[in-house]
Amino acid sequence: MINSDIIRGHLESVILKLIIEKDMYGYEISNCITERTENSFKIKEATLYSIVSRLQKKDLIESYIGEKSHGGKRRYYKITLLGSAYYKAKLLEWKELKNTLETLLEDKS
Protein backbone atom coordinates (compact mmCIF):
# COMPACT_ATOMS: atom_id res chain seq x y z
CA MET A 1 0.00 0.00 0.00
CA ILE A 2 1.13 3.51 -0.83
CA ASN A 3 1.48 5.85 2.14
CA SER A 4 -1.34 8.37 1.74
CA ASP A 5 0.93 11.22 2.91
CA ILE A 6 3.08 10.76 -0.19
CA ILE A 7 0.23 11.05 -2.68
CA ARG A 8 -2.00 13.50 -0.80
CA GLY A 9 -0.51 16.63 -2.36
CA HIS A 10 -1.21 15.29 -5.84
CA LEU A 11 -4.78 14.05 -5.48
CA GLU A 12 -6.27 17.19 -7.03
CA SER A 13 -4.19 16.54 -10.14
CA VAL A 14 -5.11 12.86 -10.19
CA ILE A 15 -8.83 13.63 -9.98
CA LEU A 16 -8.58 16.34 -12.64
CA LYS A 17 -6.75 13.91 -14.95
CA LEU A 18 -9.51 11.33 -14.61
CA ILE A 19 -12.24 13.91 -15.23
CA ILE A 20 -10.36 15.21 -18.28
CA GLU A 21 -10.47 11.69 -19.71
CA LYS A 22 -14.26 11.57 -19.28
CA ASP A 23 -17.01 12.94 -17.08
CA MET A 24 -17.23 10.80 -13.94
CA TYR A 25 -19.24 10.44 -10.76
CA GLY A 26 -17.61 10.09 -7.34
CA TYR A 27 -17.73 6.33 -6.91
CA GLU A 28 -16.40 5.90 -10.44
CA ILE A 29 -13.44 8.19 -9.66
CA SER A 30 -12.68 6.18 -6.52
CA ASN A 31 -12.86 2.86 -8.37
CA CYS A 32 -10.68 4.14 -11.19
CA ILE A 33 -7.94 5.20 -8.74
CA THR A 34 -8.07 1.81 -7.02
CA GLU A 35 -7.96 -0.09 -10.30
CA ARG A 36 -5.16 1.96 -11.87
CA THR A 37 -3.00 1.52 -8.79
CA GLU A 38 -3.79 -2.21 -8.70
CA ASN A 39 -5.25 -1.77 -5.20
CA SER A 40 -2.09 -0.14 -3.81
CA PHE A 41 -3.96 3.11 -3.14
CA LYS A 42 -7.58 3.66 -2.20
CA ILE A 43 -8.95 7.14 -1.73
CA LYS A 44 -11.26 7.61 1.23
CA GLU A 45 -14.76 8.81 0.41
CA ALA A 46 -14.46 11.85 2.68
CA THR A 47 -11.15 12.80 1.08
CA LEU A 48 -12.56 12.42 -2.44
CA TYR A 49 -15.59 14.60 -1.80
CA SER A 50 -13.54 17.21 0.05
CA ILE A 51 -11.24 17.53 -2.97
CA VAL A 52 -14.16 17.56 -5.43
CA SER A 53 -15.82 20.32 -3.41
CA ARG A 54 -12.59 22.33 -3.40
CA LEU A 55 -12.17 21.86 -7.16
CA GLN A 56 -15.73 23.11 -7.71
CA LYS A 57 -15.17 26.18 -5.51
CA LYS A 58 -12.09 27.00 -7.60
CA ASP A 59 -14.21 26.62 -10.80
CA LEU A 60 -11.91 23.84 -12.02
CA ILE A 61 -14.77 21.36 -12.39
CA GLU A 62 -18.55 21.58 -12.70
CA SER A 63 -21.19 19.07 -11.76
CA TYR A 64 -24.43 17.96 -13.36
CA ILE A 65 -27.02 15.28 -12.72
CA GLY A 66 -26.76 12.40 -15.17
CA GLU A 67 -29.38 10.01 -16.43
CA LYS A 68 -31.11 7.76 -13.92
CA SER A 69 -29.42 4.38 -13.59
CA HIS A 70 -29.65 1.51 -11.11
CA GLY A 71 -32.04 3.20 -8.74
CA GLY A 72 -31.00 6.84 -8.80
CA LYS A 73 -29.48 9.80 -10.53
CA ARG A 74 -25.75 10.36 -10.26
CA ARG A 75 -23.85 13.62 -9.94
CA TYR A 76 -21.20 13.73 -12.64
CA TYR A 77 -18.20 16.02 -12.71
CA LYS A 78 -16.71 17.61 -15.82
CA ILE A 79 -13.63 19.70 -16.40
CA THR A 80 -13.77 23.44 -17.11
CA LEU A 81 -11.39 25.41 -19.33
CA LEU A 82 -9.79 26.79 -16.18
CA GLY A 83 -9.49 23.23 -14.85
CA SER A 84 -7.71 22.05 -17.99
CA ALA A 85 -5.20 24.90 -17.76
CA TYR A 86 -4.69 24.28 -14.04
CA TYR A 87 -4.07 20.58 -14.69
CA LYS A 88 -1.47 21.35 -17.36
CA ALA A 89 0.38 23.64 -14.93
CA LYS A 90 0.25 21.00 -12.17
CA LEU A 91 1.53 18.36 -14.59
CA LEU A 92 4.56 20.51 -15.43
CA GLU A 93 5.12 21.04 -11.70
CA TRP A 94 4.96 17.27 -11.14
CA LYS A 95 7.48 16.60 -13.91
CA GLU A 96 9.91 19.10 -12.40
CA LEU A 97 9.47 17.55 -8.96
CA LYS A 98 9.97 14.05 -10.36
CA ASN A 99 13.19 15.08 -12.11
CA THR A 100 14.49 16.82 -9.00
CA LEU A 101 13.76 13.82 -6.78
CA GLU A 102 15.37 11.42 -9.25
CA THR A 103 18.48 13.62 -9.28
CA LEU A 104 18.61 13.82 -5.49
CA LEU A 105 17.77 10.21 -4.71
CA GLU A 106 19.53 8.19 -7.41
CA ASP A 107 22.67 6.31 -6.49
CA LYS A 108 25.74 8.26 -7.63
CA SER A 109 28.25 5.49 -6.82
Give 81-89 contacts, CB < 8 A, sequence gap 24+.
82/58, 83/16, 83/19, 83/20, 83/55, 83/59, 84/20, 86/16, 86/58, 86/60, 87/13, 87/16, 87/17, 87/20, 87/60
Q: For the segment 81-109, what is each residue's pLDDT rounded down to a tens digit? A: 999 999 999 999 999 999 999 999 998 76
Statement: the pTM of the whole predicted model exceeds 0.75:
yes
CA 48 to chain centroid, in Å, comes to 8
Consecutive H or E run containing 64? strand 61-69
C-alpha 47/C-alpha 99 separation (Å) is 28
| All structural domains of the chain | 4-105 (1.10.10.10)
Q: Are 61 and 19 in contact (CB under 8 A)?
A: yes
Is residue 18 within 8 A of residue 25, CB to CB? The reply is: no
Q: Are 19 and 5 in contact (CB under 8 A)?
A: no
**Each residue of 55-80: pLDDT tens digit?**
999 999 999 998 767 778 899 999 99
Average pLDDT, the chain: 92
